[in-house]
């Protein structure tokens, strides 16, 4: 059936083999199954409605699989996290646990930290702090005692090698790490690392070697930095004449990769965290429309329904009365169900009216569907306030960084300011407390 195995590569088709050919002939997609009435699908494909209902229920159960959110309690306000319930439906009854970011405000935004058993993505442009987050997690996971045993970490690089010098700096300067004894402090020796140079090696290592390493070294965190590098190197070599075939092949491989990583996270009860790059999102100026006008155009009979979208120019100036003026944002279509409209809700960029530097995480919608959580690291310049002559470039005084939970299986969406310092990553709210402790 159209799109079923691309979305759920491990879905068992055998119980429904008697109706699948009819569904394929009628061009019924997985989206049709989830959005149309059961009787409408059955009539369209000329198959029993009861069999279609069973297939729909099985697809929904498969989509929901592994998305139960663990319950985490704070004992008496002491900051000690206790997981009160065992994972429902787990193969081995493994208890849920989290990896702290070593910062209270960031942990609070993530409902305790990065949760094991899920696939998490950290995305952002260059110098946003993705690797700094990952390095902090490599050390923090070693502080977690699960089933009486300390955890270790596995770092898989597709670009630069593991930054051992920076890890040593974190151990020396972070207040929660530097005060620990040598026996309790994290160690670089408990971080296994390897480098992957192409997709073939990536597939072999993830499928065969990673499960062995997790069992042998009691790994609690698997990091891939970054997930898109090998795909760009592999598929950018294709000829332009085979673009459609190349994209189809890449989409299938990305789907298989997501299923593999989600399986590792769930089967071994480990956190799988990947870094992802972003690309610039270009929107034609003639297609920039107002949100309020876009909503009116989508309504039949609206006075603006036949208006040209190009008549609503974008203005970066603040309206005189924000409560009465329309909100402008970058939309390339007036259709609220189109991908160009919807992606502002799951990419991390574009849901604010004043967003101008639009980005899109690499690997597209196919990869997004594999994630339990997407964390976007946003970075915007703060310019020096002074008089500038015409044509003079503005000076950047500092960079304002924001950790944005875009979508998540265990915490609410939201934004938290952060900064990079010698001790790693810390929330802006925690900066004063850290400086006080250092003094």
Structure confidence by residue, pLDDT tens digits, 368-401: 999 999 999 999 888 888 888 888 888 888 889 9
Comparing 92 with 339, the larger pLDDT belongs to 339
Q: What is the pLDDT of residue 314?
A: 35
Q: What is the pLDDT of residue 2?
A: 62
CA distances from 417 to 130, 317, 410, 414 (A): 14, 25, 20, 10
Q: Read off the pLDDT of each residue in 74-78 and give the average, rounded to a whole number.
A: 38
Q: Which residues contact 378 (CB under 8 A, 6 or more apart)?
A: 124, 128, 348, 349, 401, 402, 403, 404, 415
Comparing 3 with 44, the larger pLDDT belongs to 44
Q: What is the pLDDT of residue 391?
A: 86
In the predicted structure, residue 3 carries a pLDDT above the cut 80:
no
In the predicted structure, residue 277 carries a pLDDT above the cut 60:
yes
Q: Which residues contact 327 (CB under 8 A, 6 or more apart)?
A: 290, 291, 292, 353
Q: Read off the pLDDT of each residue in 7-22 and give the average, rounded to a whole number.
A: 87
In the predicted structure, residue 256 carries a pLDDT above the cut 90:
yes
Q: What is the pLDDT of residue 81?
A: 44
Mean confidence (pLDDT) of the chain:
80
């Amino acid at each position: 059936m159209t799109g079923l195995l691309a979305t759920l590569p491990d879905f068992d088709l055998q119980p429904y083999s008697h109706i699948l050919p009819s569904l394929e002939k009628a061009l019924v997609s997985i989206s049709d199954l989830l959005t149309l009435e059961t009787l409408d699908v059955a009539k369209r494909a000329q198959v029993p409605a009861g069999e279609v209902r069973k297939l729909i229920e099985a697809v929904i159960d498969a989509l929901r699989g592994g998305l139960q959110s663990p319950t985490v309690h704070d004992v008496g306000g002491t900051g000690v996290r206790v997981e009160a319930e065992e994972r429902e439906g787990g193969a081995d009854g493994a208890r849920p646990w989290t990896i702290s970011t070593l910062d209270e405000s960031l942990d609070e935004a993530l409902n305790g930290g990065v949760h094991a058993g899920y696939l998490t993505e950290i995305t952002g442009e260059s110098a946003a702090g993705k690797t700094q987050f990952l390095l902090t997690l490599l050390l923090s996971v070693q502080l977690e005692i699960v089933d009486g045993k300390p955890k270790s970490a596995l770092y898989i690089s597709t670009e630069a090698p593991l930054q051992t010098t920076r890890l040593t700096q974190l151990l020396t300067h972070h207040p929660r790490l530097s005060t620990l004894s040598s026996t309790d402090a994290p160690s670089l020796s408990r971080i296994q690392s390897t480098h992957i140079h192409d997709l073939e090696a990536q597939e072999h290592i993830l499928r065969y070697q990673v499960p062995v390493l997790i069992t042998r070294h009691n790994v609690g965190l698997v990091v891939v930095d970054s997930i898109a590098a090998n795909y760009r190197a592999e598929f950018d070599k294709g000829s332009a004449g085979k673009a459609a075939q190349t994209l189809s092949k890449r989409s299938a491989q990305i789907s298989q990769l997501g299923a593999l990583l989600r399986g590792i996270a769930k089967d071994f009860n480990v956190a799988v965290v990947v870094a992802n790059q972003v690309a610039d999102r270009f929107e034609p100026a003639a297609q920039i429309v107002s949100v309020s006008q876009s909503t009116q155009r989508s309504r039949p009979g609206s006075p603006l329904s036949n208006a040209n979208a190009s008549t609503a120019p974008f203005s970066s100036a603040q309206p005189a009365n924000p409560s009465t003026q329309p909100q402008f944002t970058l939309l390339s279509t007036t259709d609220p169900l189109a991908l160009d409209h919807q992606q502002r809700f799951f990419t991390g960029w574009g849901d604010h009216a004043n967003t101008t530097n639009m980005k899109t995480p690499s690997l597209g919608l196919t990869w997004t569907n594999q994630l339990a959580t997407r964390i976007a690291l946003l970075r915007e310049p703060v310019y020096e306030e002074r008089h500038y002559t015409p044509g003079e470039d503005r000076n950047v005084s500092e960079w304002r960084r924001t950790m944005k939970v875009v979508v998540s299986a265990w915490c609410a969406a939201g934004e938290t300011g952060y900064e990079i310092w010698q001790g790693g990553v810390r929330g802006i709210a925690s900066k004063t407390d850290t400086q006080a402790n250092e003094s």
